[in-house]
């Protein structure tokens, strides 16, 4: 064809080997990256699944399973004679649960005819399943079943608190046949510190912050050593984080009239500051003996304003008369010390119940201030016997008059 010969280069064996190595190496590296990525994805999923499993594992005693029939027998058919309290969503009965040792328990039976009762049951189970603290009321088990007529039945079984609620002690019923219950200054101060520890745990130490939303004397139970246990988490709410931001919300009021933070009435979302407000009102009630819903608080007058107006000259006029009863000159020094102690506590209560959420005390500061007050008061030695009784587990009757 008389065409020029095709140009050709000599075969470079070394160059060819290098190309093959680069291709093979790139392929192996790509496969390794893919396998590593798949391994990490699987591991993360397993870790997330394991964490979810741990988060969903309740501290409720799984080995205690009860049926509707068990609770019927435990409470003698939900007899009226076994009623130890009533609430917004149900009735609490004293019961004797069959099993090892026949344990005395408190059984809260939800009235499912009341709107929101089922929701409070779920909220309470969610709130308490992963928390454990000596100042929180322990749930033994729950029962979600049907009664003998086929109607839905829900109940929560708690540890039985021998000394009832704080409300029973602060405001004993006039028709009680037994001797009226009264708590002395040291007992009330200890209870105030117990409740502050419980709130601090809920707000800052149990993973997701929990707002109780219904802190009041009837939801604080006392065991045989007069140690306080905060209960009733039916209105509790989980927060993503502790925050001081307050945005509006269409959620209805959470809590009990007299103890609800004022910002809730303006549509603000629940916050830990709301619990602190309720705690402040609780402190004022504990050391004045007056409910925030007392008939005297009319025309815009509140318990917090009532106490604030008494400082400093008329402070003894607002203190619970059971706490200040000097009988002779020998007790005059103790009387003055007790007055100063209670005045300091009331100042903490006023600060906690401030109208502005941002100006309320944090729980850790509350605990610190209350310990300072207790140390100041205990210099006279009155507290030593109570502390000994608490540690030994003996009857605390010598400290309650």
Q: Give the range among 98-102, 226-230, 351-355 with minimum mean pLDDT.
A: 98-102
Q: Minimum mean pLDDT among 15-29, 132-146, 168-182: which range?
A: 15-29
Residue 125 lies in a domain: yes
pLDDT exceeds 50 at position 57: no
**Are 252 and 303 part of one and the same domain?**
yes
Statement: residue 97 has pLDDT above 70: yes
- C-alpha atoms less than 13 angstroms from C-alpha of 174 in its C-beta half-sphere: 0
Q: Which has more pLDDT, 67 or 65?
A: 67
Q: Do both 135 and 246 map to the same domain?
A: no
Asked if 179 and 132 sit in the same domain, the reply is no
What's the chain's average pLDDT? 81
Compute the residue count for the chain: 401
Above pLDDT 90, what percent of the chain? 48
Q: At 314, list the tokens.
A: 């008329």
Instruction: Give the domain range for residue 349.
Output: 171-399
The conformation of residue 399, written as its DSSP 8-state character, comes to G
Burial label, 154 (beta-carbon count in 10 A; 0-12, 13-18, 19+)? buried
The answer to whether residue 8 sits within a structural domain is no
46 within domain boundaries: no
Task: Provide the 3-class DSSP secondary structure of residue 168.
Answer: helix
Among 35-49, 131-145, 323-337, 380-394, the minimum mean pLDDT is found in: 380-394
Is 29's pLDDT higher than 60? yes
Give the CATH number, domain containing residue 128: 3.30.200.20
Query: Quick one: average pLDDT of 337-349?
Result: 94
Last residue of a domain, one of 159, 192, 211: 159
User: 225 — alpha (psi -120 to 50), left (phi > 0) or beta?
Assistant: alpha
The label of the residue with tokens 């209805």 reads 252
Confidence of residue 312 (pLDDT cuts 50, 70, 90): confident
The whole-angstrom separation of Cα 169 and Cα 148 is: 37
Per-residue tokens: 217: 């004397």
Q: Do 106 and 226 lie in a common domain?
A: no
pLDDT for res 16: 56
Mean pLDDT, range 121-127, rounded to an integer: 83
Domain annotation covers residue 38: no
pLDDT at residue number 12: 52
pLDDT for res 259: 96
E strand or H helix at 140, and its extent?
strand 139-146
Residue 125's pLDDT band, with cuts at 50, 70 and 90, is confident
Q: What is the pTM of this model?
A: 0.75
Top-confidence residue, 333 or 137: 137
78 part of a folded domain: yes
| CA 290 – CA 170 distance, rounded (Å) | 9
Average pLDDT over residues 280-285: 98
Q: Is the dihedral of CA 316, 317, 320, 322 positive or negative?
A: positive
Among 41, 364, 374, smallest CA distance to 203 is for 364
Q: Provide the annotated active-site residues.
A: 214
Beta bridge partner(s), residue 248: 268
């Amino acid at each position: 064809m008389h065409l020029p010969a095709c140009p050709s280069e000599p075969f470079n064996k070394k160059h060819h080997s290098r190309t093959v190595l680069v291709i093979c190496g790139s392929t192996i590296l790509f496969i390794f990256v893919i396998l590593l990525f798949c391994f990490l994805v699987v591991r993360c999923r397993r870790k997330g699944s394991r964490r979810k499993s741990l988060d969903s594992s309740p501290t409720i005693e799984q080995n205690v399973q009860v049926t509707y029939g068990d609770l019927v027998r435990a409470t003698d058919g939900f007899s009226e004679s076994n009623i130890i309290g009533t609430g917004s969503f149900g009735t609490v009965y004293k019961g004797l649960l069959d099993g090892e040792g026949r344990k005395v328990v408190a059984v809260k039976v939800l009235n499912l005819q009341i709107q929101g009762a089922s929701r409070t049951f779920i909220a309470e189970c969610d709130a308490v399943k992963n928390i454990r603290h000596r100042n929180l009321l322990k749930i033994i088990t729950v029962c979600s079943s049907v009664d003998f007529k086929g109607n839905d039945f829900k109940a929560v079984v708690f540890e039985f608190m021998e000394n009832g609620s704080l409300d029973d002690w602060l405001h004993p019923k006039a028709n009680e046949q037994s001797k009226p219950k009264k708590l002395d200054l040291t007992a009330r101060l200890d209870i105030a510190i117990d409740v502050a520890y419980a709130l601090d745990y809920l707000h800052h130490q149990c993973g997701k912050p929990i707002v109780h939303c219904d802190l009041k004397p009837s939801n604080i139970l006392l065991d045989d050593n007069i140690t306080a246990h905060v209960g009733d988490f039916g209105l509790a709410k989980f927060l993503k984080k502790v925050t001081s931001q307050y945005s509006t919300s269409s959620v209805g009021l959470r809590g009990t009239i007299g103890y609800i933070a004022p910002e809730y009435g303006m549509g603000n979302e629940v916050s830990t500051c709301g619990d602190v407000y309720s705690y402040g009102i609780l402190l004022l009630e504990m050391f004045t003996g007056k409910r925030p819903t007392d008939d005297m608080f009319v025309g815009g007058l509140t318990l917090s304003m009532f106490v604030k107006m008494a400082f400093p000259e008329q402070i003894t006029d607002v203190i619970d008369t059971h706490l200040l009863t000097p009988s002779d000159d020998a007790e005059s020094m103790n009387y003055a010390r007790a007055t100063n102690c209670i005045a300091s506590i009331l100042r903490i209560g006023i600060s906690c119940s401030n109208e502005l959420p941002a100006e309320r005390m944090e729980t850790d500061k509350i605990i610190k201030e209350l310990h300072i007050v207790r140390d100041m008061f205990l210099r006279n030695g009155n507290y030593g016997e109570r502390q000994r009784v608490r540690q030994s587990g003996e009857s605390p009757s010598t400290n309650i008059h």
